[in-house]
């Protein structure tokens, strides 16, 4: 038992160290400042951004969404089994089968998507331009942007959204807590190490991509560092919680609530990926096939990691 606790503590520090290194390296290095880059340097950074977009796409489809769907389906099945043991024989088998087969996971992820869509729409309704619309779009509506964060960018380039950057950090924070929780709940040393390695394999790339997003949105260094620090402590926090939670505590409404929150986080992650990250990277002036290749490479790497994750 003490050996298992020691391994989990080692995983805790490994998750913390990897996140800090991968997240703070781009922020603290002047080489990644795309605003000051020119020529070949700027092109390399732009293509690196496309690769990070592919990493986000792969993380969403190959890691975050499948884990959320699996968790929700598992909790729904547990809920049905508990109802059976309580002797609810008056419900028909057909009705029970329909209840289980309904795509609850997909519904919850979609609700997460539409929740962020609603919040951003409300923000845009109250403060036009706050969600990062381009100046050209504002001029077409005959209005002036209220928050002009990037007036130096071209009119054809979609502007960065501070709100979406915040949503990205929030959704990844939720997911990181659940990843750490899963590691902390493992009953054996072998299972703990295997799952921790799987988490480490894709977490470093995702956090590196987050750091690049913060740099491109023009986030001040102190706020970017604070964001990475808060994100870095999410997985260790979840792992510590998992170590203190008994296996039976994950049953019932607590486990179902965790699965629902992870599904909502997956929906918000997909929203930011498709409406902020991919459009932004694909709007750059690099050759289309080069951008496609970088996005595909990032996605392929995450798909490869999913063999073990």
- The predicted-structure confidence for 136-148, as pLDDT tens digits, reads as follows 444 444 444 433 4
Quick check: 228 pLDDT over 60? yes
**How many angstroms separate the CA atoms of 252 and 112, rounded?**
22
In 127-252, alpha helices (H): 135-140, 162-184, 189-216, 221-232, 234-244
Quick check: 222 pLDDT over 90? no
Quick check: 300 pLDDT over 90? yes
Confidence of residue 40 (pLDDT cuts 50, 70, 90): confident
Cβ 31 vs Cβ 44: under 8 Å: no
Instruction: Give the residue, 166 or 265, on which the prediction is more confident.
Output: 265
Quick check: 214 pLDDT over 70? yes
**Percent of the residues in the chain that have a pLDDT greater than 90, as a whole number:** 8
Task: Report domain extents, the chain.
Answer: 42-85+99-305
Cβ 274 vs Cβ 213: under 8 Å: no
User: Average pLDDT of 242-271?
Assistant: 73
Three-state DSSP class for residue 148? coil
Instruction: Give the residue, 164 or 12, on which the prediction is more confident.
Output: 12
Q: Which one of 64-78, 170-184, 192-206 scores highest in mean pLDDT?
A: 64-78
**How many angstroms separate the CA atoms of 223 and 205, rounded?**
20
User: Average pLDDT of 157-179?
Assistant: 73
Instruction: Give the residue, 117 or 165, on which the prediction is more confident.
Output: 117
**What pLDDT, on a 0 to 100 scale, did the predictor assign at position 289?**
92
**What pLDDT, on a 0 to 100 scale, did the predictor assign at position 142?**
46
Quick check: 261 pLDDT over 60? yes
Nearest to 34 by CA among 23, 49, 55: 49
The pTM of this model reads 0.71
The neighbour count for residue 248, using CB atoms within 10 Å, is: 7
**Alpha carbon 155 to its chain's center:** 29
CA dihedral 18, 221, 63, 82 (to 10 degrees): 90
**How many angstroms separate the CA atoms of 64 and 112, rounded?**
13
**How many angstroms separate the CA atoms of 210 and 191, rounded?**
28
**How many angstroms separate the CA atoms of 121 and 295, rounded?**
28
Instruction: Give the residue, 78 or 86, on which the prediction is more confident.
Output: 78
**Per-residue DSSP letters for 36-50?**
G--HHHHHHHHHHHH
Instruction: Give the residue, 101 or 305, on which the prediction is more confident.
Output: 305
**How many angstroms separate the CA atoms of 60 and 30, rounded?**
29
Q: Please identify which residue in the block is written with the tokens 């703070």.
A: 24
User: Average pLDDT of 80-84?
Assistant: 74
**Who's near 186: CB < 8 A, 6+ residues apart?**
8, 192, 195, 242
Confidence of residue 247 (pLDDT cuts 50, 70, 90): very low
């Amino acid at each position: 038992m003490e050996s298992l606790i020691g391994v989990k503590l080692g995983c805790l520090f490994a998750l913390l160290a990897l996140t800090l290194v991968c997240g703070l390296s781009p922020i603290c290095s002047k080489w990644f400042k795309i605003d000051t880059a020119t020529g070949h340097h700027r092109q390399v950074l732009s293509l690196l951004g496309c690769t990070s977009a592919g990493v986000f796409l792969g993380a969403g489809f190959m890691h975050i969404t499948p884990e959320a769907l699996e968790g929700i389906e598992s909790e729904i099945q547990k809920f049905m089994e508990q109802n059976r043991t309580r002797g609810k024989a008056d419900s028909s088998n057909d009705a029970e089968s329909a209840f289980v087969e309904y795509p609850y996971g997909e519904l919850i992820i979609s609700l997460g998507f539409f929740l962020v869509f609603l919040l951003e729409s409300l923000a845009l309704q109250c403060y036009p331009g706050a969600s990062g619309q381009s100046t050209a779009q504002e001029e077409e509506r005959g209005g002036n942007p209220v928050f002009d964060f990037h007036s130096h960018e071209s009119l054809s380039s979609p502007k960065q959204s501070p709100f979406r950057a915040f949503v990205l950090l929030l959704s990844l924070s939720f997911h990181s807590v659940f990843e750490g929780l899963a590691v902390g709940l493992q009953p054996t040393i072998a299972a703990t190490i295997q799952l921790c390695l799987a988490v480490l394999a894709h977490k470093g790339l995702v956090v590196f991509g987050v750091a690049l997003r913060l740099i491109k949105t023009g986030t001040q260094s102190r706020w970017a560092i604070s964001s990475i620090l808060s994100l870095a402590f999410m997985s260790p926090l979840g792992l510590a919680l998992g170590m203190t939670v008994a296996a039976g505590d994950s049953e019932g409404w607590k486990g179902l609530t965790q699965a629902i929150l992870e599904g909502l986080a997956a929906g918000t992650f997909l929203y930011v990926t498709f409406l902020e990250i991919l459009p932004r990277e694909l709007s750059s002036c690099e050759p289309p096939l080069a951008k496609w290749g970088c996005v595909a490479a990032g996605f392929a790497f995450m798909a490869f990691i999913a063999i073990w994750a």
